[in-house]
Amino acid sequence: MPSAFRRLCLLILTVAALACALPAFAGGGPETFPLSEVKPGMAGVMYTIFQGDRIQKVDVQVIGVLPDALGPKQDVILVKLLGPQAAETGVVAGMSGSPVYIDGKLLGALSVKLGAFTKEAIGGVTPIRDMLQVAQYRSPASVQNASAATAARSHAAVSTSTAAPGPIAAVPSASFAQPVAVGGGQFLVPIETPLITAGLYPQALGWFNKQFSSWGMATMAGGTAPASPSDSKIQPGDMVSIDLIRGDLSVSAGCTVTAVEGNRILACGHPLFGFGAVQMPISAAHVVMTLASAQSSTKVITTGGVIGTLTQDRQTAISGVLGAGPPMVPVNLTLDTPDGENKYHFEVVQSPQLTAQLVATAAYNGITGSAAYDQSTTLQLEGNIDLKGHAPVRLEDLFAPTDQSTPAGFFLATSVESDFAQIYSNPYELPQIERVDLTVKALPDRRWAMIDDAWVEKSEVHPGESVNVRVLLRPYRGEPFIQQIPITIPQQTARGTLELVVSDAAFLNRNVESLAYTSQGQLPGLGELINLINRERHNDHLYATLLQPTPTMLVEDKELPNVPLSTINVLDQRQNPGSARLLWESTAGEWSVDMHQVIAGQRMLTITVK
């Protein structure tokens, strides 16, 4: 090959590689219709899917422009959807992102609707000018690398609509936006995003639907479809889903694609959550049918194969790159019942705002799916949250039903959610969850007992002496019984009157070794926070704790009891004590008995050490 020809080929390849690495819009934008030229009465078209994968054209007529309707300098274009199909369904949940054109130029995306129970199909269009502002944000390095690696493969697979081609950008900010509902007015409301669920029991949905609804999503039973090579052939007007859970349980949010260029897509016309920079899987979606309703019509959807990564979730649009999906958190749930074991496997999106709730929903869903589980079942939890570069977070506890309407399974699920929340809300580093393993054992009977009374066999003791603490426990049903806790007064215990606390685990976790101060960044890092979480007491134990009126210093994740006054004086003189915190009581000793049932309540006793 002549050297000049080789140099020309090398130059072409270099330019092509740079073009893939640069953000979209570097060389121009889609042909758009200027907002300033929009006039009432103008005719346009919208593209969306009512059934299957066939994109249909819907005629629209411009009603007018509402300045600042979605926020400062965020206008909305009111349009009326025409035709018999639009008259039957109105504005449909799942239409968000449907592209609207005037004279073959992209005007924007349908994103809001006007009121409920309206007699006409009137919606609002987010101007493409506002949607394209996502181009100003930069992608994280991981997203840019993935985009460059898959650009050539994705470009060959993507089909761009000839009616309205246009490059769009998928480059998010590193900061998170606050989740704000689109169109906060009384009548101008966001088009609901269908939250497609497969394998979700009505009982689980009943307990967690409030959180889903707060996201501005309409929960809808759907399904999953096998991945197909045609899944990645996305055009404006096609449906896509953002996967939150995949596997034996599936939860995805459905939206319509507004524009496609190369391996980049723009969709929705409003945020899903408003999180800013994200990494969530994008899957193909197929419309089974459009369910017409006088209150709120919606698309019934199935989700297909993963086709890319959502990288930006902002006020006026969501955007992403086609290609490989991002890593998710593998969750393995084993339910051990008298009828045998049931195993569930799924993946959950890695998100500080969502992962905890999604794992809790999936755990509760698995529990309620067992025929052996009922309102009298006690649940025993064991498990681990594995994190990259850190010791695992251990999950161990017992959960018994009460006379309240809240089932034990919900208490277990929210306990797992709480542990996740502590990890994700830490001020030290963004944790990387590698996997979650949960084993839930269903035990017959309501295993629960209340501390009714407590006493010590002798009120005066000496250092080194052993005595018995007797506790009267009243079970849920049956006769009260007495449980003994043998304790030995430590040799170094100070003389005088001390407090002996007989209690459940919750009281000690709240009052004796409070973890509240860790939220202020007073630990060296996440590892020490995990150590504290793993030291929390379990609610199937009965505890006796001897407290003496001498100071304890909490330094990072360590307790230093009986701190000398000289050390306290030095601490008081420092304006910024750093990671040290002073408590005015010290634990002289702690003893416990495994009761194999949930213990509740506390009693305070006094003893005299001579």
Read off the pLDDT band of 565 (50, 70, 90): low
Instruction: Report whether pLDDT(172) > 80.
Output: no
Instruction: Report whether pLDDT(493) > 70.
Output: yes
Provide φ and ψ at 237, rounded to 5°: 100, -15
Residue pLDDT, tens place only, 251-261: 999 999 999 98
Asked whether 540 and 592 are in contact (CB, 8 A), the reply is no
CA distances from 101 to 79, 108, 182, 204, 267 (A): 11, 7, 22, 41, 15
CA distances from 73 to 68, 69, 130 (A): 5, 8, 9
Instruction: Report whether pLDDT(55) > 80.
Output: yes
Residue pLDDT, tens place only, 422-467: 898 888 888 999 999 999 999 988 899 999 999 999 989 999 999 9
Question: b vs e for 310-326, b when ≥16 Cβ sit within 10 Å of the residue's Cβ?
Answer: bbbbbbbbbbbbbbbbb
Instruction: Report whether pLDDT(609) > 70.
Output: yes
Cα four-point dihedral sign 314, 318, 323, 325: positive
Secondary element (H or E) of residue 286: strand 276-291
CA–CA gap between residue 59 and residue 601 (Å, rounded): 67
Read off the pLDDT band of 583 (50, 70, 90): low
CATH class of domain segment(s) 35-128: mainly beta
Q: Residue 20 has what DSSP assignment?
A: H
Residue pLDDT, tens place only, 96-152: 999 999 999 999 999 998 766 677 889 999 999 999 887 566 555 444 444 333 333
**Residue 479 neighbours by CB distance under 10 Å:** 6
So where are the chain's domains?
A: 35-128, 133-180+189-322, 348-443, 448-609
Instruction: Look at residue 319 and give its three-state secondary structure.
Output: strand
Task: Show the CA angle centred on residue 550, arms to residues 544 and 554, nearest 5°.
Answer: 80
Instruction: Report whether pLDDT(584) > 50.
Output: yes
The pLDDT score that the predictor gives to residue 133 is: 82
The pLDDT score that the predictor gives to residue 204 is: 84
Biggest alpha carbon distance in the chain? Answer: 103
With tokens 């960044």, the residue in question is: 521
Instruction: Look at residue 138 and give its three-state secondary structure.
Output: coil
219 vs 245 pLDDT, higher one: 245
433 vs 556 pLDDT, higher one: 433
Mean model confidence pLDDT for the chain: 80
Mean pLDDT of 351-367: 90
CA–CA gap between residue 263 and residue 386 (Å, rounded): 33
Which residues are CB-contacts of 583 (< 8 A; sequence separation ≥ 6)? Answer: 551, 552, 553, 554
Q: In what order do the strands lie in the sheet with 460-461?
A: 460-461, 602-609, 496-503, 541-548, 586-594
Lowest mean pLDDT across 82-86, 374-378, 388-392: 374-378
Mean pLDDT of 288-294: 84
Instruction: Report whether pLDDT(59) > 80.
Output: yes
Mean pLDDT of 66-84: 88
Instruction: Report whether pLDDT(506) > 70.
Output: yes
Mean pLDDT of 185-194: 74
155 vs 74 pLDDT, higher one: 74
Q: Which two tokens stand for residue 389?
A: 């570069």
Instruction: Report whether pLDDT(246) > 70.
Output: yes
CA–CA gap between residue 144 and residue 137 (Å, rounded): 12
Residue pLDDT, tens place only, 323-338: 999 999 999 999 998 8
492, exposed or middle or buried, with CB in 10 Å at 0-12, 13-18, 19+?
Answer: exposed
